[in-house]
């Protein structure tokens, strides 16, 4: 019996020691302190500090080119076209021959009136000689006073006839001379509307046109809203302006290339067009290439271009990177870092682009720190760590980039 119980007792003791060891391990594990969690790092953002500066304010408008002188060629006489001398679409010079209207009937009329003038001059000479002979006879009472009066009347009548004949001669000479139509200006001639054998009417028929391409006009239409804003800025002295006819223009073509010559504003309308609510202005650009053969010119009448206006200067301007300005349902806003290093959302009025920067009209003050990089890490009220926005990403203070694009053209 004892032999049977001894192995059982020994086994039970081993189990008791094992259970006691496990209990001690569990107790020691429960009594240990949990490890502390490391604090999360603050989100890092790049900020730009707002400052004011004086910049060139250069609005940009859409313009359309116009010929300096679009000259209409019309006949001064009615007749049949006998010859066309020019080649359509080529440059012509002043006094170049363009058309010849059949000169035969006009030459004949001139010769006939020339003969009438000679005939009337002979009559006048005869009448004056008769009067000279009669006057002495009146003193001798060899003729009556009526004979002298008749001779004087004949002289006056003949003089009047001579003046009429001379006027007719001038008219027929004018008509004959105008059978040859010449170019009144240098320029590029268009298509001829009439050719040999066609009857044309004096001062009514439009034969062709000549476009004078040097210099060249560019017309722009300035919206009324821009005019009102510009007037307010000038009144508040935030913008400085020269005399409007000292404003200069720079042309940019649809492919982005820039015209090498600057123009100057030479005309501004006196009234706003009620149909469009715009005021028209006009720049005059030198265009020496316009005198070259077709295909060598920079500009053509009717071409759409951008006109950047130079001359305005803006004081105390606030510029921030474009990427710093966000768009929301209520309009534009930026993220600003306050004195407690927390993010604040602030609405701003961003009026115009300047290269890679926005011009801020209101909402920011000098010294404000605006987030320019790291937006996905932040939200309003979050505390952040700030580092400076790299200066290499910020354009120069004064730039020739346009500040406004409009469907019109310039402010007076």
Residue 128 near residue 110, CB atoms below 8 Å: no
Q: Is residue 3 left, alpha or beta, with left meaning phi > 0 and alpha meaning psi from -120 to 50?
A: alpha
Which domains are present in the chain? 45-54+315-406 (2.40.420.20), 59-69+213-313 (2.40.30.170), 76-102+179-206 (2.40.50.100), 103-177 (1.10.287.470)
| Per-residue pLDDT reduced to its tens digit, 299-314 | 889 999 999 999 999 9
| pTM of the entire predicted model | 0.71
pLDDT of residue 112: 95
pLDDT of residue 368: 94
Q: Is residue 295 left, alpha or beta, with left meaning phi > 0 and alpha meaning psi from -120 to 50?
A: left
Give the total residue count for the chain.
412
- Signed CA dihedral, 141, 144, 145, 148: sign only: negative
Which residue's structure tokens are 């009439």?
194
pLDDT of residue 365: 92
For 204-231, letters b (16+ CB in 10 Å) and e give: ebebbbbbbbbbbbbbbbbbeebbebbe
Rg of the chain in Å (alpha carbons): 47
pLDDT of residue 38: 61
Integer angstrom CA distances of residue 349 from 102, 185, 324, 333, 365: 71, 52, 13, 8, 12
Integer angstrom CA distances of residue 16 from 5, 9, 24, 27, 327: 17, 11, 12, 17, 74
| Per-residue pLDDT reduced to its tens digit, 117-157 | 999 999 999 988 988 888 787 777 777 788 878 888 999 99
Give me the helix-helix angle, 145-177 and 104-139, nearest 10°.
Answer: 160
- From first to last of its 412 residues, the chain has per-residue pLDDT tens of 434 434 444 444 555 555 555 555 544 545 445 555 666 788 899 999 999 999 998 999 999 999 999 999 999 999 999 999 999 999 999 999 999 999 999 999 999 999 999 999 999 999 889 888 887 877 777 777 888 788 889 999 999 999 999 999 999 999 999 999 999 999 999 999 999 999 999 999 999 999 999 999 999 999 999 999 999 989 988 899 899 999 999 999 999 999 999 999 999 999 999 999 999 999 999 999 888 888 888 888 999 999 999 999 999 999 999 999 999 888 999 999 999 999 999 999 988 888 789 999 889 999 999 999 988 888 899 999 989 988 766 554 444 344 444 433 333 3
d(CA 309, CA 241): 11
pLDDT of residue 9: 41
φ/ψ of residue 105, rounded to 5: -65, -30
């Amino acid at each position: 019996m004892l032999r049977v119980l001894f192995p059982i007792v020994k086994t039970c003791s081993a189990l008791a020691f094992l259970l006691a060891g496990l209990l001690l391990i569990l107790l020691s594990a429960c009594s240990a302190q949990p490890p502390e969690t490391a604090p999360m790092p603050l989100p890092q953002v790049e900020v730009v500090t707002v400052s004011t500066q004086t910049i060139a304010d250069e609005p940009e408008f859409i313009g359309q080119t116009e010929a300096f002188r679009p000259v209409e060629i019309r006949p001064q006489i009615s007749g049949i076209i006998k010859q066309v001398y020019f080649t359509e679409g080529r440059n012509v010079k002043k006094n170049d021959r363009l058309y010849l209207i059949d000169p035969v009937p006009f030459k004949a009329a001139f010769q006939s009136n020339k003969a009438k003038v000679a005939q009337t001059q002979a009559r006048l000479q005869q009448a004056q000689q008769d009067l000279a002979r009669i006057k002495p006879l009146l003193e001798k009472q060899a003729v009556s006073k009526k004979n002298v009066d008749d001779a004087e009347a004949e002289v006056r009548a003949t003089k009047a006839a001579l003046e009429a004949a001379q006027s007719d001669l001038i008219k027929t000479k004018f008509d004959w001379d105008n059978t040859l139509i010449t170019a009144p200006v240098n320029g590029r001639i268009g298509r001829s509307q009439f050719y040999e054998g066609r009857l044309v009417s004096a001062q009514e028929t439009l034969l062709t046109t000549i476009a004078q391409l040097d210099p060249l006009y560019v017309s722009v239409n300035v919206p009324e809203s821009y005019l009102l804003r510009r007037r307010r800025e000038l009144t508040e002295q935030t913008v400085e302006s020269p005399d409007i006819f000292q404003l200069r223009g720079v042309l940019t073509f649809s492919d982005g290339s820039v015209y090498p010559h600057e123009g100057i504003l030479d005309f501004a309308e006196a009234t706003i067009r009620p149909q469009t609510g715009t005021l028209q202005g006009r720049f005059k650009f030198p265009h020496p290439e316009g005198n070259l053969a077709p295909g060598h010119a920079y500009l053509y009448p009717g071409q759409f271009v951008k006109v950047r206006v130079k001359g305005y200067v803006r004081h105390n301007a606030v510029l921030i990177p474009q990427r710093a300005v966000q768009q929301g349902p209520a309009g534009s806003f930026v993220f600003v870092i306050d004195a407690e290093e927390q993010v604040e959302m602030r609405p701003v009025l961003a009026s115009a682009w300047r290269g890679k920067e926005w011009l801020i009209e209101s909402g920011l003050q000098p010294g404000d720190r605006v987030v320019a990089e790291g937006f996905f890490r932040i939200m309003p009220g979050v505390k952040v760590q700030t580092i400076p926005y790299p200066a290499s990403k910020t354009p120069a203070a004064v730039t020739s980039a346009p500040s406004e694009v409009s469907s019109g053209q310039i402010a007076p």
